[in-house]
Each structure stands twice: as structure tokens, then as C-alpha cells.
Amino acid sequence: MLSGLLALKKNKVLSSIVLVCLADGLVGVSYGAVSVTAGLELWVPLTLAILVLAGASEFLFVGILAAGGSPLMAALAGLLVNIRLLPFGLSVQQQLGSGPLSYFGCHLLNDESVVFAVSQSTPAQRKTAFWLCGLGILLMWPLGVYLGGVLGALVEDTAVFGLDALFPAILLALVVPGLKSLRQLTATFSGAALTLLATPFLAAGLPAVLSIAGVYLGKKLHAK
């Protein structure tokens, strides 16, 4: 773990992880503020932030509640959005290990920690990157939500700050620089196109899962 940490520090991955955690904290601020301005009590987004720890599904949960939907519907919609965590989990088993800690480690599985885990070159670095990013987000996400909730009670219109654009921007900043081959580009763009096309017809979360078909398109069109 320690040697992994030193290597990560040397190749600047450590500072990227810190920045991603800070940015997620900012997204948390916007989510906390939006939830409170929508009329929810602060404990709702805060409990979600700690126990669910998966931003997109929490936005959706709170959004459905704010629109007057039932909490059970909101939970089901949130679970649909989180289906992608299952395929993510297939690629990080090694980083989690197999001891009792791995059951806690599962909770740290999210978009960001998975990207950092799969993009490192050695097993030790992958493991360290996964845990650091996961723990950092476990800390920063609820903290951001709390601050946002407090701020949201003071500021009238939080959309003014443009914080809602942060979440997609973070994901793009993580993924786009790694897209190199024509095959990857075909896969990502066709996958995203499928998602957009399906969005008016399917329940939230499912269209994103559909994007996986893009991987097969990329493979078919650019087979070696």
C-alpha cells in the first residue's frame, strides 16, 4: 500500500485523486443546496450521501421526491441508475481483496474510484488508487452536501453558480483523455447516442446501461 502511494505521488496520480475528491465535494455542495431549496430537510440528502454514496442516484431520488413522487418509486429509480455498479465491480475485485475489509471496500465503488483503479499500471498502484479515491469521496461527498445544505438555506437560486454542470464535466474529464483508438471512440460515441435516443422511452438509468451495446459495435467495426 505504501509503495503504491509513493509511486502514485511520483506520477501525479495522487494530486488528480485529491482534485477529483474536491470537485466531488463541490458537486455535493450543489446537490445539498438544491435538495434544501426543493423543500427537503438536510438529514435526507445527508443520510443518502453517507449510506448510498452514489451521486447520480441520489440526485434522482431527491428530484422525484421534490416533484411529489413516492419515496419507494424514488428508490427504485435510483437503483436503476446504480445498475452500472455491477459491471464496475467485475473489474475491481483484485483491488478489493478478499478479507472482511473488502465488504467495506465495496461501498467505495463508484464512477471515480473505478476509473482510477483501472487506469494504473501495477496491482499495488491500482489498489492504493482505488482505496484513496474511494475514502476521499466518502469524506468529501457528505461534507459537501452538508455545506450545500447550509448554503442553500441562505442563497435563493443556486442554479446561478452553474454547479449542476460539474457532475457531467467530472466524468468527461476522467474519461475523454483516455479515449485513443478508433475502436474506443466508436464504442463511446455510439453508446452515448443509444443512451440519448432511448432516454424519452425508458425509465431513468436504463438508457445508460444500454450504452454497453456500443462496446460490441466498436469491437465489430474495428476488429483486429
Which CB, 7 or 61, lies closer to other proteins?
A: 61
Residue 99 gets which letter from DSSP? S
Which CB, 108 or 143, lies closer to other proteins?
A: 108
Burial 139-175 (b: 16+ CB within 10 A, else e): ebbbbbbbbbbebbeeeeebeeeebeebbeebeeebe
Please say whether the beta carbons of 98 and 72 come within 8 A: no
Which CB, 153 or 219, lies closer to other proteins?
A: 219
CA distance 60 to 81: 8
> In the chain, what is the straight-line distance between the N-terminal and C-terminal CA atoms, in Å?
37
Q: What is the closest distance, in whole angstroms, from the C-beta atom of residue 33 to other proteins in the complex?
A: 13
Task: Identify the H or E element spanning 95.
Answer: helix 93-96
CA distance 76 to 70: 10
Q: What is the closest distance, in whole angstroms, from the C-beta atom of residue 73 to other proteins in the complex?
A: 8
Q: What is the closest distance, in whole angstroms, from the C-beta atom of residue 201 to other proteins in the complex?
A: 10
Which CB, 120 or 128, lies closer to other proteins?
A: 120
Which CB, 3 or 91, lies closer to other proteins?
A: 91
Half-sphere exposure of 15 (CA within 13 A, CB side): 4
Q: What is the closest distance, in whole angstroms, from the C-beta atom of residue 124 to other proteins in the complex?
A: 18
Q: What is the closest distance, in whole angstroms, from the C-beta atom of residue 30 to other proteins in the complex?
A: 9
CA distance 17 to 112: 9
Q: What is the closest distance, in whole angstroms, from the C-beta atom of residue 21 to other proteins in the complex?
A: 11
Which CB, 3 or 25, lies closer to other proteins?
A: 25
